[in-house]
Amino acid sequence: MRSRAVAVGGMVALAVGVARVVGRMRRRRPAVEKVAQELRTPLLYLLPEAPSGRPPRRSPWLERLANRAIARRGAHPQTFAAGDDAPGQPGVGGFVYRPAGRPAGAVLWIHGGGMITGFAAINHTAATRMARELGLVVATVDYRLAPEHPFPAALDDCMTALRWLHDNAARLGVDPARIAVGGESAGGGLAAMVAQRAHDEGLPVAFQVLVYPMLDDRTALRDPGHRGEFVWTPSYNRQAWEWFLGHPVREEESRPYAAAARRGDLTGLPPAWIGVGELDLFHDEDVAYARRLEEAGVPVELVVVPGMAHAMDMLPAPSMRAFRDSWLRALRAGLAD
């Protein structure tokens, strides 16, 4: 009798589980159907439904695993350390990838993660490709994360890494006039901040690559409509900005560079490539920033992909390959001009 009861209980639990999965698929279907056909991976049904609460944080064990995976592939990018000799400035580290021949330039590539998670090693594939296909020296930086280190810690670290590239340009074989900045998501937002601050401080930046960049904290105050239903949601965005800024999101923010979209005068900033998906939470802020750059006389290429949600360029779909190829071409051209 007991074994029969256990069997019945197992069947009931299975039925309940199946019912929950079916219910989730039905609820998620309207959102999934907005996604371009070639991007409709089954994983979309497994993502949390409108997740609320705290977004994911940095995982030390995952970072160690990523570094070991890089080593197992036989790839050993050089590490760098910068800023140790600056009074009151903590050291900043990261990886340096060098091309086989004479460098065509260099790029500081900044990882994503809402400025609250992530690490330099997650950009290994992209950095390797930039070094191999574009002939660039690529520096990736492990910047400090919020909430433990709120603004301006991450920006200070990225600026330290950019100065390191300039200070070591001769040793790396790089023309200082051919150094770019770039990144994806929060890394794109930080790259835009770096471009602004470097301009103000007279540190040359030739080009900026902003891949679905996180530019405007005020997006957290607005109705997202049908955007932000996958990966990076409105609740994640609000919490990340509050941790990064060190206070609740509000209409007023007087600190320069705290959010790239808040800068009033964009005149004189380096040419840019900006790409974002139609369904991305950052769509409106990215398109608005591109238009403002244009109005300020800054050359900018804007790519908006229909039916693409946040970070979907990780998928092997043809449109996502074209998206990645687009910013690679733009970066090559931006450093060649």
Active-site residue among 142, 217, 310, 313?
310
CB 155 within 8 A of CB 257: yes
CB 280 within 8 A of CB 312: no
Query: φ, ψ for residue 45 (rounded to 5)?
Result: -75, -20
CB 280 within 8 A of CB 308: yes
Active-site residue among 280, 283, 286, 313?
280
Quote the tokens at residue 272: 């840019």
| Chain centroid to CA 265 | 24
DSSP-derived pairing of the beta strands 105-110 and 78-82: unpaired
Q: What whole-number distance in Å separates Cα of residue 87 and Cα of residue 96?
A: 24
Q: What is the H or E stretch that residue 236 is in?
A: helix 234-245
| Chain centroid to CA 130 | 16
Q: What whole-number distance in Å separates Cα of residue 114 and Cα of residue 95?
A: 20
Active-site residue among 111, 124, 185, 313?
185
185 in catalytic set: yes
Residues annotated as catalytic are 185, 280, 310
